Chains A and B, each alone.
Chain A
Amino acid sequence: MRGYGTTLGLFEPGRGFLYRTPLPVKAAGSLAVVVAVVGWRSPAVVVVVLAFTGVTLAVGAHRSPARILRMLLPALPVLAVLALSQGLMTGGTRAFAVAGGIAACLLAARALTLTTPLPVLLDGVVRLVAPLERLGADPERFALTLSVMLRSIPYLAGSVLDLRAAARARGLERNPRVVGVPLVVGAVAYAPRTGEALAARGLGEHPEEE
Chain B
Amino acid sequence: MLEFDGVGVRIDDGHPRVLLHPLTLSVPERRVSVIGANGSGKSTFLRLINGLREPTTGRVRVLGDDTRTAGRRVRRNVGFVFTDPLSQLVMPTGREDVELSLRTRRLPAREHRARAEEVLDRFGIAHLADRSIYDLSGGERQILAFAVVAAVEPRILVADEPTTLLDLGNGARIRRLIAGLDQQVLFTTHDLDLALDADRTLVVDDGRVVFDGDPGEAVARYRDLAAATCTTE
Contact = CB atoms under 8 A, between A and B. Distances in A.
Interface of A: 2-6, 10, 118-119, 140, 144, 147-148, 150-151, 154-155, 158, 190, 193-194, 196-203, 205, 209-210
A61 to B, nearest CB: 18
B184 interface: no
Contacts of B79: 200-201
Interface in B79-134: 79-80, 82, 84, 86-92, 96, 99-101, 103-104, 132-134
Contacts of A158: 134
Contacts of A118: 91-92, 96
A200 B46 CA distance: 11
A198 B90 contact: yes
Chain A facing B: main interface SS = helix
A118 B149 CA distance: 21
B76 A202 contact: yes
A201 B134 CA distance: 21
Interface of B: 50, 52, 70-72, 75-76, 79-80, 82, 84, 86-92, 96, 99-101, 103-104, 132-135, 148-149, 152
B70 A6 contact: no
Given A2-B134, A151-B92, A200 B99 contact: no
A205 B92 contact: no
Given A5-B134, A6-B134, A148-B90, A201 B72 contact: no
Contacts of B134: 2-6, 154, 158
7 contacts: A3-B134, A3-B135, A147-B90, A194-B88, A201-B79, A202-B104, A210-B70
A199 B86 contact: no
Contacts of B80: 197, 200-201
Contacts of A148: 90
